[in-house]
Amino acid sequence: MIGRLNHVAIAVRDIAKAAALYRDTLGAQVSAAVPQPEHGVTTVFIALPNTKIELLEPLGQDSPILKFLERNPDGGIHHICYEVEDIRAARDKLTAGGARVLGTGEPKIGAHGKPVLFLHPKDFNGTLVELEQA
């Protein structure tokens, strides 16, 4: 069911500093920072030959990554995103098997303008999993 690894997301306190680390120290291709108020984060995408890294900085008081950064003050891997062909079919199959989808269970439009949903980390080896319709 799952296809390519679309991205690995890393939560950071200072996205300019983190972007500079990837650009200058690691020599990667780094996008501009984009505020995504509807998701409570600012994002930077780092293009790698085989996948992407998504840097996430909290935006606003209700940011969904604030608690994560309280627990992980140095930042850390926040989620991994796999592509699926049909996100509703994937959700229905997973929920039928007992997996929990976060939020309303309906896909939302994610940072790339494509439908996404998140699966409960307790059902996936302690890892928050994002599914994105390819």
Binding site for Co ion (CB under 5 A): 9, 54, 81, 130
Give the Cα separation of 59 and 69 in Å (integer).
12
Q: Which of 54, 57, 130, 132 is catalytic?
A: 130
How many helical (H) and strand (E) elements, i.e. helices and strands, does the chain have? 3, 9
Q: CB-wise, 9 or 65, nearer to Co ion?
A: 9
CB closer to Co ion out of 56 and 94:
56
Closer by beta carbon to Co ion, 9 or else 90: 9
d(C-alpha 117, C-alpha 87), whole Å: 8
The separation between the first and the last C-alpha atoms of the chain, rounded to the nearest angstrom, is: 12
Residue 130 falls in the annotated catalytic set: yes
Provide the minimum distance between the beta carbon of 114 and Co ion in the complex, in angstroms, as a whole number.
11
Catalytically active residues are 130
